[in-house]
Structure 1
Amino acid sequence: MTVFFTADTHFGDHRTINIWRRPFPDTATMDALLIERWNAVVTDDDEVWHLGDVARRPSDVPSLLERLRGTKHLIRGNNDPDGTLAAAGWASVGDYAELDLEGRRLILCHYAFRAWNGQHRGAINLHGHSHGRLKPMPQQFDVGVDAQSFSPVTLDQLLARAAR
């Protein structure tokens, strides 16, 4: 099992194409590429932590989750109404999580922090929300699709990119 992270998919949200200048002519094209890239790296045995802002319409979320591989966890974003959280298909839902993965402490939230639990003991903050436009602090990574080639990423991928 591999653990992946992503955020800010904004499925079906035309505003995201305009505001963040995503290179898609329409939401159908954007959604198809996001699903294709997700399923190209995630298997049914993998786990995905989505750090918020899933879709424009909560009513679309159950069918999207059925099409996306892996066991899916949601950390709520500012554009995730109660209907998104209640959708069938989430293994867990919360506003914040702390995980131990590969010997590292991960602090997960939709928002980037200036300070976080364990920051000075090597804990890593993974977040979304900023769409790749926020200069990260050390040990902090934007896992949103705009910052990660529209694909979920692993901790190893994030750390390897930071080392370059």
Structure 2
Amino acid sequence: MTVFFTADTHFGDHRTINIQRRPFDSVAAMDACLIERWNAVVAPDDSVWHLGDVTRRPADLPGLLARLHGSKHLLRGNNDPDATAVATGWASVRDYAEIAVDGHALVLCHYPFRSWHGQHKRAINLHGHSHGRLKPLLRQFDVGVDVHGFAPVTLATLLATRPAR
């Protein structure tokens, strides 16, 4: 089982195409790309931590989650109403999590932190929300789809791009 991270998919949200300058002609094209790239890297027995801002229409979420590979954990973002949190298909729903992956302590939240638990003991902060527009601190990574080719990403891939030191 591999653990993946992602954020800011904004499925079904036409505003995101314009605001984030995503290279899609339509919401349908964006959603199809996000689903295709998710399933290309995530296997059915993998785990995905979605760090918020999942979809514009929570009513569509159960069908969408059923199409996406992996066990899916949600850390709610500012665009995730209660209907998103209670949708069928989440393995867990929280606002914040501390987990360990491959021997690394991780602090997960939709929002990037200025400081976080264990920061000076080499804990790593993974976040979304900023769509790649925020200069990261040491041991801090934006896992949003706008930064990672519209696909979930592994911790190993993140660390290969910029060692956490």
Q: Give how far 1:33 is off.
A: 0.2
The amino acid that maps onto 1:148 is H
Aligned: 1:139 with 2:132: no
Aligned: 1:102 with 2:119: no
Indicate the residue corresponding to 2:123 in structure 1: 123
Indicate the residue corresponding to 2:71 in structure 1: 71
Aligned: 1:31 with 2:31: yes
Indicate the residue corresponding to 2:86 in structure 1: 86
Q: Distance in 2 between matches of 1:54 and 1:78?
A: 10
Q: Distance in 1 between matches of 2:153 and 2:100?
A: 17
TM-score, reference length from structure 1 = 0.99
Q: SS of 2:162's equivalent? A: helix
5+ residue gaps, structure 1: none
Q: Give how far 1:66 is off.
A: 0.3
Identity of aligned residues (%): 72
The amino acid that maps onto 1:50 is H
Q: Distance in 1 between matches of 2:60 and 2:82?
A: 13
Q: Give how far 1:73 is off.
A: 0.2
Q: Distance in 2 between matches of 1:136 and 1:60?
A: 33
Q: SS of 1:129's equivalent? A: coil
Q: Which runs of 4+ in 1 moved over 4 A?
A: none
Q: SS of 2:131's equivalent? A: coil
Q: Give how far 1:64 is off.
A: 0.5
Cα deviation code 1:3-37 (max 9, x no counterpart): 00000000000000010100001100000000000
Indicate the residue corresponding to 2:55 in structure 1: 55
Indicate the residue corresponding to 2:8 in structure 1: 8
Aligned length: 163
Q: Give how far 1:101 is off.
A: 1.0
Q: Give how far 1:131 is off.
A: 0.3
5+ residue gaps, structure 2: none
Q: Distance in 1 between matches of 2:55 and 2:16?
A: 10
Q: Give how far 1:120 is off.
A: 0.4
What is the root-mean-square deviation of aligned Cα atoms in Å? 0.5
The amino acid that maps onto 1:5 is F
